[in-house]
Amino acid sequence: MGMIGGGKDAFIGAIHRHAANLDSTIELVCGALSINPDVAMASAQSLFLPAERSYLTYQDMLEKESQLPAEQRMDFVTIVTPNFAHFAPAMLALEKGFHVVIEKPIAFTLDEARQLKQKVEETGLLLLLTHTYSGYPMVKQARQMIQAGELGKIRKVWVEYPQGWLSQLTEREGNAQAAWRTDPTKSGKSGCMGDIGTHAAHLAEYISGLKITDLCAHLSIMVEGRALDDDGNVLLKFEQGATGVLMASQVAAGEENALKIRVYGEKGGVEWAQQEPNTLLVKWQGKPTQIYRTGTGYGNYLSSYAIQSSRTPGGHPEGYLEAFGNLYRNFSQVLAARIDGTTPSEEALDYPSVNEGIRGMAFIDNVIKSHQSSEKWTPFEV
């Protein structure tokens, strides 16, 4: 594994490295960890990277790594730069023959995402998009139950993602994360909906197994002086007649990362909350609610997908890092199978890729289009 971005004091880069290390199957061998040369070198040293594979630019890294013998060069690169710097290194990595892991969102614009998809299809290379929440065991359990028809035809999806960390004008107070995430030139055309609304939309489609077909959106800038939306509400229409509601806010004062989803079918519903990730509530019409729990000793009531994603005995909390690690594990198993000429398991193939990246960028565009339109409903165009 090589890494672009993610140097000292970068939040998400460290998360990726922790996640990749969980199963001891991935080794960080090189990096271009910052656009600041001093930070790049200091970060590489702190991670014990050899000097000759500690690069000052991603262009230099990709060129020199591509010239190494196959058994020495990196197998894939992880890109953990801010949104505006995703496309160029991802495209160059694919052109140089490297598989790619990329932090969400996949690119800065929908057009860039489409170009990446074309390049992935041309090269046949793998791409993992780290929509973290799809890595939780109970999220996979909910998805499998719905795919098996246990809830009947899906009718309703509620998903909400309230945060409170941008309740003040934090970007003017020295918060680097807030500064770039609220800057249209670095984050993109949407703030809250682009940052966390896309997570909610992906989770809604992933668990329900249904794609959004139409939406009706309203965005707000609640904090005076902010350049991008920090709050929004979206009505959703899905395939097969299901409807839904999506709420995302970064000005819900007092909230942390309270992502929650409920999906209801003809026979019952499921409910999962990211801040209580080991639990899945399964609600039945006319029968008591069941509590499904993450754990490696629970026999046969969990799906194979949930079991593979469970790492500890029941009662031991598994959370964000483990979910992140599950994405890396699935990706690495598929990549290792390709290298070895073997066939990966169906469970390993379950990770977000370029298609989810395109739908995420399309979600942003369609939400903004709907918000700016006088029409009630906007078709979801990809």
47: containing domain: 2-129
Please name the residue that has the structure tokens 């040369």: 37
Which residues does 136 contact at the CB level (< 8 Å), separation at least 6? Answer: 272, 274, 277, 309, 318, 323, 326
Whether the CB-CB separation of 102 and 127 falls below 8 Å is answered with yes
Task: Examine the pLDDT at 243 and tell me if it is beyond 90.
Answer: yes
* Average pLDDT of the segment spanning 303-312: 92
Lowest mean pLDDT among 203-207, 268-272, 304-308: 304-308
137 DSSP 8-state letter: H
At residue 200, the pLDDT reads: 98
* H or E stretch covering 31: strand 30-32
**Any domain includes 48:** yes
What is the pTM assigned to this prediction?
Answer: 0.96
Q: How many CB atoms lie within 10 A of CB 263?
A: 28
Sorting pLDDT into bands at 50, 70 and 90, what band is 299? Answer: low
**Mean pLDDT estimate for the chain:** 96
Residue ending a domain, among 129, 158, 186, is: 129
Lowest mean pLDDT among 57-71, 292-306, 350-364: 292-306
Torsion of CA 292, 135, 315, 150, to 10 degrees: 10
Which residues does 14 contact at the CB level (< 8 Å), separation at least 6? Answer: 6
* Average pLDDT of the segment spanning 30-50: 97
**Any domain includes 297:** yes
At residue 295, the pLDDT reads: 82
192 and 261 share a domain?
Answer: yes
Sorting pLDDT into bands at 50, 70 and 90, what band is 315? Answer: confident
Half-sphere exposure of 28 (CA within 13 A, CB side): 26
* Average pLDDT of the segment spanning 191-200: 97
Written in H, E and C, the secondary structure of 155-221 is: EEEEEEEECCCCCCCHHHCCCHHHHHHCCHHHHCCCCHHHHHHHHHHHHHHHHHCCCEEEEEEEEEC
Task: Examine the pLDDT at 99 and tell me if it is beyond 80.
Answer: yes
**Any domain includes 336:** no
At residue 314, the pLDDT reads: 84
**Residue 232 β-bridge partners:** 219, 248
**Any domain includes 32:** yes
* Percentage of the chain lying above the pLDDT 70 cut: 99
**Residue 261 β-bridge partners:** 159, 272
Residue ending a domain, among 129, 157, 182, is: 129
Q: β-strands 268-273, 279-284: how paired?
A: antiparallel
CA-CA distance, 238 to 204, in Å (whole number)? Answer: 10
23 and 68 share a domain?
Answer: yes
Using CA atoms, how far residue 284 sits from 147, 152, 154, 274, 377, in Å, is 17, 11, 13, 22, 32
* Average pLDDT of the segment spanning 120-132: 98
Lowest mean pLDDT among 48-62, 258-272, 292-306: 292-306
47 and 164 share a domain?
Answer: no
At residue 215, the pLDDT reads: 98
Q: Per the structure, how many domains does the chain have?
A: 2
Q: What is the CATH number of the domain that holds 215?
A: 3.30.360.10
Who has greater pLDDT, 10 or 147? 147
* Average pLDDT of the segment spanning 360-366: 98
Sorting pLDDT into bands at 50, 70 and 90, what band is 298? Answer: low
CA-CA distance, 178 to 223, in Å (whole number)? Answer: 13
At residue 9, the pLDDT reads: 82
At residue 183, the pLDDT reads: 96
Task: Examine the pLDDT at 296 and tell me if it is beyond 80.
Answer: no
Task: Examine the pLDDT at 67 and tell me if it is beyond 90.
Answer: yes
Q: What is the CATH number of the domain that holds 48?
A: 3.40.50.720
125 and 153 share a domain?
Answer: no
Residue ending a domain, among 106, 129, 152, is: 129
Q: Which amino acid is at 42?
A: A
Sorting pLDDT into bands at 50, 70 and 90, what band is 107? Answer: very high
Count of H helices and E strands in the chain? Answer: 13, 14
* Average pLDDT of the segment spanning 280-293: 96
188 and 278 share a domain?
Answer: yes
